[in-house]
Amino acid sequence: MLDADFFRRWMTAAAASVDREADRLTALDSAIGDADHGSNLQRGFTAVTAVLEKEAPDTPGAVLTLAGRQLISTVGGASGPLYGTLLRRTGKALGDAAEVGEEQLAAALREGVDGVMKLGGAAPGDKTMIDALVPAVDALASGFAAARTAAEEGAEATTPLQARKGRASYLGERSIGHQDPGATSSALLIAALADTAEADGE
Ligand code: ADP
Ligand code: MG
């Protein structure tokens, strides 16, 4: 079972990963966006770890809703409200249970991803974070490692696509040939989840 501490460690691992990969995320965003995706997420996840430490929410749902709220209020740009919605909706779906199982998490994440699709209007194949998140959630039934692989493959598969949502869509065909920054950071988020689970022996 996964408790509040597990979810706090997931967010801490995500923050560390975003820190390590910030330059790469920004380089990807400089090719088809405005070169701020790494710094956007760095600012957001630094604020997330700080607020989680300060407020110490004591259920999985409360950890993710607080993290999502914090992303919405600190990240300018499209990705803040989208990632914020992902975590808030997932947290809300987890309710106020002290511990949740893997199946419950998979179902809750699916609601979170649905929330992102509703808010942003993107579908799979539009070259966005959705292209990593949907395969990850689909694969989660087979375990955390499978979700990590699916997210990474989903992110890589955005390279030949033409962007139909977000800033990259303004480039039309010139968005082809570059990996989507948001799909790349979504793969980092899922990898951080898998790392946290593996460290726990899940
Ligand atoms: P901005 O585009 O405002 O500069 P970021 O650079 O932080 O914001 O994030 C860009 C990423 O956000 C894109 O690579 C894409 O994955 C994601 N994104 C943008 N618009 C949408 C959308 N409508 N639906 C889903 N994801 C989106
Ligand atoms: Mg950007």
CATH number where 26 lies = 1.25.40.340
**Tokens describing residue 35:** 């070169």
Rounded Cα distance, 66 and 68, in Å: 5
Residue of 32, 116, 128 with the most ligand 1 atoms within 8 Å of its CB, for mutation = 128
Residue whose CA lies nearest to ligand 1 atom number 3 = 77
By the 10 Å C-beta count (0-12 exposed, 13-18 middle, 19+ buried), 41 is classed as buried
What is the number of structural domains in the chain? 1
Return all residues near 201 (Cβ < 8 A) that are at least 6 apart. none
Share of the chain above pLDDT 70, in %: 100
Do 88 and 68 meet the contact criterion of CB atoms below 8 Å apart? yes
Average confidence score pLDDT of the chain = 97
A 10 A CB-CB count for 95 gives 13
Average pLDDT over residues 145-160: 98
Instruction: Supply the range of the domain harboring residue 8.
Output: 2-199
pLDDT at residue 79 above 90?
yes
Candidates 139, 94, 144, 137; CA nearest to 116 is 137
A 10 A CB-CB count for 180 gives 33
Candidates 59, 116, 120; CA nearest to 91 is 59
**Cα 120 to averaged position of ligand 1 atoms, centre (Å):** 9
200 SS3 class:
coil
Q: Which residues surround ligand 2, an ion (CB under 5 A)?
A: 29, 33-34, 36-37
- Cβ of 26 closer than 6 Å to ligand 1, yes or no, is no
pLDDT at residue 202 above 90?
no
**Cα 65 to averaged position of ligand 2 atoms, centre (Å):** 24
Residue whose CA lies nearest to ligand 1 atom number 14 = 182
Overall residue count recorded for the chain in this entry: 202
Ligand positioned closest to the Cα atom of 85: 1
Confidence class of residue 76 from pLDDT cuts 50, 70 and 90? confident
